[in-house]
Amino acid sequence: MFALVDCNNFYASCERLFRPELIGKPIVVLSNNDGCVIARSNEAKALGIAMGAPAFKMEKEMKQNGIHVFSSNYTLYGDISNRVMTELSGFTPDIETYSIDEAFLSLHGMPLGALEMYGREIVRAIHRNVGIPVSVGIAPTKVLAKVANKIAKKNPSKRGACLLDTQEKQIEVLSKFDVEDIWGIGRQHTKRLNALGVKTALDFMRLPRALVQKQFTIVGLKIWEELHGVPRIELEDVPAAKQTICTARSFGKMIETVEQLAEALANYAATCAAKLRRQKCCASCVTVFLHTNPFREDLPQYARSAVANLHQATSSTIELIEVSAKMLSQIYKAGFLYKKIGIILSEIVPENEVQVSLFDTIDRPRDAEIMGALDSINAKYGRDALRIGRQGFGKRWKHRQERLSPCYSTRLSDVLTIKV
């Protein structure tokens, strides 16, 4: 049996964690640069606040309804997520962190009669020890566990946990479950299924196996089999290494000078390089892109990108900053106001499988020692405590975060002071 533990309205719940006066109040969290709504509390959903809604168009509505608005605080959310996952690891050693607010747990070997109570104990423990409300779905497969989780979240009578342990329970739930809400069924597959008369998950289950395999490939067939209670998607206790890594941000204010663009790009390259090293990989292809604001039709428009293939795959911050700076000089054009720049690393391979180049002139062992020291110091003293000179300190290019909450749990200066 599998359990899917999903934090309820996670970003909003994190903001409430240190602000108990916000319990029961509508909350929305905005995307990078305070652009669009990316998270809502149940109270905000009830007011009709839509996901992806542009924040600037909703200022009046938010004020009228007393909605509390926050900039996305990924430092806070990441730390609270780690606390949730640590707590979950106490319930089973077999855990897959699926996303920042979701985890699959293996409950194989546990008696079926105890599973629902076990799920509710998980709900109580996370709320008691971390302060975050969660829902738990338990079923024989991961896809069915996802379905059970949605039922647990929407039905208060389940007290946070839903168990789909029999075929009768599964059929009853799937007959009312929209096919578009099935985990792994995207928009295009939904359109094709609707064209076949498939509206619910049960309709999808009743399609012939051969038709599913022909129309929806191996992925669709796995989902079909999982809905039938046959486990086809295994627990991944070690996350797969990313095949591409990208860092790109819109600027809080448009930028014109190449110097400010270069500083932003250097910071993004450093972020990508650190991610590479964390997954013990190297990249041999670098893409840099930049563009103006396409929504400002009153301004001249420009967009360009460049691709560089390296002689040897690397994860060196120094090397990637240098390469990306040269690429920027090739695509930058004066006279434009730029809104966004980004870097993409691809052709990623494990660091122990890097093909050595005969033309390589870089002292790789020395670079590896420097990067090790860089990561060690930043892990101890905080991100960018030690940085490459080209990263600068001005950050005039930084995206807007006008409603950012404190980093209560990771920054000493932001720790709450209690007066007694």
Q: Note the pLDDT tens digit of each residue in 246-259.
A: 998 888 788 999 99
Tell me the residue ranges of DSSP E strands in 107-244. Answer: 134-139, 161-163
Q: Is the pLDDT of residue 22 over 80?
A: yes
- Compute the mean pLDDT over every residue in the chain, rounded to the nearest whole number: 91
Structural domains for the chain: 2-163 (3.30.70.270), 167-227 (1.10.150.20), 245-391 (3.30.1490.100)
CB neighbours of 89 closer than 8 A, spacing ≥ 6?
95
Q: pLDDT (tens digit, 9 = 90+) per residue, 55-105? A: 888 888 888 899 999 999 988 999 999 999 999 999 998 999 999 999 999
- 211 contacts: CB under 8 Å, gap ≥ 6: none
Task: Show contacts of 83-87: CB within 8 Å, 24+ apart.
Answer: 83/130, 83/409, 84/5, 84/7, 84/126, 84/130, 84/132, 84/134, 87/125, 87/126, 87/129, 87/130
Q: Structure pTM?
A: 0.79
Q: Token match 């905080």: residue?
A: 382
At 397, is the pLDDT very low, low, confident or very high (cuts 50, 70, 90)? Answer: low
Residue 360: pLDDT above 90? no
pLDDT band for 396, please (50, 70, 90 cuts).
Answer: low
Cβ count within 10 A of residue 384 = 16
Q: How confident is the model at residue 14 (pLDDT cuts 50, 70, 90)?
A: very high
Least confident of 13-17, 115-119, 242-246: 242-246
7 pLDDT more than 80: yes
CA distance 284 to 205: 43
Q: How far apart are CA 349 and CA 252, in angstroms?
A: 34
Q: What is the DSSP letter of 294?
A: T
Q: Pick the range with the lowest mean pLDDT from 184-188, 239-243, 306-310, 407-411.
A: 239-243
Which pLDDT belongs to residue 400?
67
Residues 316 and 276: their CA atoms lie apart, in Å, by: 9
Q: What's the confidence (pLDDT) of residue 411?
A: 81
Count of alpha carbons within 13 Å of 29, Cβ hemisphere only? 21
Give the Cα separation of 132 and 17 in Å (integer).
Answer: 7
Supply angle C-alpha 349, 355, 356, rounded to 5. Answer: 135
Q: What is the pLDDT of residue 288?
A: 96
As to burial, measured by CB atoms within 10 angstroms (0-12 exposed, 13-18 middle, 19+ buried), residue 294 is exposed
> Amino acid letter at 149?
N
Exposure string for 304-332, b = 16+ CB within 10 A, e = fewer: eebeeebebbbbbbbbbbebbbebbeebb
Residue 169 has what pLDDT? Answer: 95
* Joined tokens for residue 165: 């342990």
Q: How far is CA 303 from the centre of its chain?
A: 27
Predicted confidence (pLDDT) per residue in 126-155, tens digit: 999 999 999 999 999 999 999 999 999 999
| 225's tokens | 């089999």
* Residue 362 and residue 319 in contact, taking contact as beta carbons nearer than 8 Å: yes
- Spatial separation of the C-alpha atoms in residues 330 and 324, rounded to whole Å: 10
pLDDT of 416 > 90? The answer is: no
